[in-house]
Amino acid sequence: MHDDVFAPRRGVQMRRMLRQHPGAALGVLFILVLLLASLFAPLPYDPMGIDGGATLRSPGGEHWFGTDGAGGDIFSRVIYAARVDLSLALAGTVLSLVVGVLLGLAASSKGKGSERLVRGLDAFQAFPLLILALALVSLSGNKLYMVVVAIALINVPRFMRLLRSEVLSLRESRFIEAATATGASPRRIIFRHLLPNVWGIVLVQTSLTVANAIVVIASLSFLGIGVSPPTPSWGSMIRDGAGNMSSGEWWIAGFAGLAVVLCVLAFNQLADAIGDRTARTYR
């Protein structure tokens, strides 16, 4: 399929994108460091461990981010939580992307089938999806793969609608007509002409979906669903620390909250940068 005889230079664009959007570059760097640290770095304390002798310590030289009510080291736990939280968010996003793009393509073809698909989508989106996801995960007995499914449940319709609207407007465009006039097969039109032109906007949506998934996972574990203790997750740490906020022990919920905010910010910045680049190559 990709027997490209000629290709435009691409590497320069990527470098320029990161230079023009230092926020996105910083964000990508932050996520990478966080993820690698959670997977490989030696943590100062056992993230699952408890220490009855060192409960509710404030941040300092010994415990950089302080400790929680059970004496767990917040720094180790915040970093380690990225392992589960980010992996689940990324897995959920990939599933949303793949299913959403395929269904979106199907929904944007001509014919009765695609119309039915869109009707079904309308009906489906009438459900409060977050609550549906919540029910699904707790009914499954807090299986982690159900969290991934739940994220897909919420995000697949978004990918579908996005792809459908993009493809429908692209199908009307002159260069698609030109490809048809040249004798290109439907398959070739999809892979050579449609997809490359929706890719940018799909990437933007992907980045936003990761950000959304992080929030969804945090919300679930805040409610005690999904990731179950003692495995640390940002949502459950925020819940644990919520009670301590009023008595001045802000760090338990604070650092976990900060991790969520920074991750979401990073992915939003990345989405911005990709969106900007996509808009520019069009003209």
Q: Check if the beta carbon of residue 55 is closer than 8 Å to that of residue 68.
A: yes
Q: Cβ atoms within 10 A of the Cβ of 123, count?
A: 9
Q: Is 180 in the site for another protein (CB under 8 A)?
A: yes
Residue 197-236 contact track with another protein, rule CB under 8 A, x = bound = x---------------------------------------
Binding window for another protein (CB under 8 A); candidates: 5-13, 64-72, 210-218, 253-261: 5-13
Q: Is 171 in the site for another protein (CB under 8 A)?
A: no
Q: Is 3 in the site for another protein (CB under 8 A)?
A: yes
Burial readout 39-67 (b: 16 or more C-beta within 10 A, e: otherwise): eeeeeebebeebeeebebbebeeebebbb
| From 58, 169, 173, 228, residue interacting with another protein (rule: CB under 8 A) | 173
Q: How many CA atoms lie within 13 Å of 274's alpha carbon, on the beta-carbon side?
A: 19
Closer CB to another protein, 58 or 185, in the complex: 185
Closer CB to another protein, 38 or 278, in the complex: 278
Q: How many CA atoms lie within 13 Å of 84's alpha carbon, on the beta-carbon side?
A: 23
Q: Which of 4, 2, 19, 24 is nearest to 274 (CA)?
A: 24
Classify residue 224 by its DSSP letter: T
Q: Is 111 in the site for another protein (CB under 8 A)?
A: no
Q: Is 40 in the site for another protein (CB under 8 A)?
A: no
Tokens of 250: 């802000």
Q: How far is the CB of 126 from another protein (least distance, A)?
A: 25
Catalog residues that contact another protein under the rule CB under 8 A. Answer: 3-9, 173-175, 177-185, 188, 192-193, 196-197, 281-283
